Structures are given as structure tokens and as C-alpha cells.
Amino acid sequence: MAEPIRIHTPFTEEDSRKLKIGDSVLITGEIYAARDAAHKKMCEALANGEKLPIDWQNKMVYYLGPTPAKPGDPIGSCGPTTSGRMDAYTPTMLDQGIKGMIGKGSRSKEVVESMKKNGVTYFAAVGGAAALIAKSVKKYEVLAYSELGPEALARLTVEDFPAIVVIDCEGNNLYETNQAKYRTLKGY
């Protein structure tokens, strides 16, 4: 197995275009947590001509809802949530400059087309490894929408956050290519 590719944020379109499906990465820097409730608020703000709480240019968004931190830890378990819950909002958010998304599960055709248009990479974090992923988080800070609790917009400072490229900015999709291998099995 190849050594993981080390990525440092900010994450640019040029960085995104270097990655291919199946690449294992370790992310260091700042990533931003937001789930569907925060995405809805941001899209509503944009529709009303309002400014967003952060500039999303060359940022990565991580779809998660963290558990409360134990004393002395910056965050509790912090595994990925199902990314499809953000699909209705994702093209609008990608137009704001996001270049990387981290979550789990497949994405809609509309999201993949927006990724191709905007030069965005979609990474999968391993579901079920939330406690292990939390070890890569060095700092967690709520930035906006604190009333949403674990769905608030937050900044995470991470070191060697593990992920896999599952859809690259050309639209190549590991979920599709890997599943296709098994569709030819008899009886399935």
C-alpha cells in the first residue's frame, strides 16, 4: 500500500486536482465542521443577500456532529455523518469556494457535477472510527450557530486526519467503480 499523501490547509483547486480516487491522505491544518442544519442556515443567508460567518474560499468542510469532550480533550468522538443529507445545499456551498468535503456515503449527480465545475475533492472518513479520528483533532472552536449544538459551524485544528479520496474533482467515483466489480456476480 502506498504511503498516505500529506495535505496541508488551505486546500486549493491546484491541490485538489493532484488527487485521484483511492488516494489515502493525512490532513493537517484547519477544517470546518458543518452539517445539514448549518448548511440550511448558510444557504438561506446567501438567498437573503447576507454575508456568511466565514469565507469558504479554499476550505474543507467536514460533515460531523461531535460528542461532548472528556475533560482535557478538545472534542469527543467525531466520526463522519452521511453526506447525502447536505446534497440539497452542496452546489450552492461549493460555489462559495469550498475545495474539499469530508463525510461518508455517495453523493448525488448534481453534487458530482458541481464538484467537477468547482474543482472539488470528496473524501471519506472511516465510519465507526470516531474515537480514533478524534485523536487527530487538536482544537475545536464553535464559530457560528451555537444554538444548533453539535451541528454548529466550528473550526477544527487537525494533525494527520485520515481520509480517502472517494470522488475526485474529475468526477471519478470509487463508490461506483468498486461496486461495479461485484454486479457481475451470479445471484446478485
pLDDT digits (tens, 9 = 90+) for 75-88: 988 989 899 999 99
pLDDT at 32 over 90: yes
- Counted domains in the chain: 1
Strands, E, within 34-92: which ranges? 60-62
Residue in the block written with cell 495535505: 7
Task: Take residue 72 and report the three cell numbers written for it.
Answer: 482535557
CATH of residue 40: 3.20.130.10
Q: How confident is the model at residue 175 (pLDDT cuts 50, 70, 90)?
A: confident
Task: Take residue 160 and report the three cell numbers written for it.
Answer: 494527520
Residue 188: per-residue pLDDT: 53
User: Which range marks the domain in which residue 143 is found?
Assistant: 5-184
Residue 142: per-residue pLDDT: 96
Cis peptide before 4 (omega within 30 of 0): no
CB of 67 closer than 8 Å to CB of 95:
no
Radius of gyration of the chain (CA): 16
- Quick one: what percent of the chain has pLDDT higher than 70? 93
Query: Of 53, 25, 19, 21, which is closest to residue 39 (Cα–Cα)?
Result: 53
State the catalytic residues: 39
pTM for the whole structure: 0.92
Mean residue pLDDT across the chain: 93
Rounded CA separation 98/156 (Å) = 15
Residue 144: per-residue pLDDT: 97
Q: What is the pLDDT of residues 103-160, one digit of tens each?
A: 999 999 999 999 999 999 999 998 777 788 889 999 999 999 999 999 999 999 999 9
Q: How confident is the model at residue 172 (pLDDT cuts 50, 70, 90)?
A: very high
Cβ contacts of residue 145 below 8 Å, gap of 6+? 37, 38, 41, 53, 151, 152, 153
Task: Take residue 188 and report the three cell numbers written for it.
Answer: 446478485
Query: What amino acid is encoded at 63 in this protein?
Result: Y
Residue in the block written with cell 454486479: 183
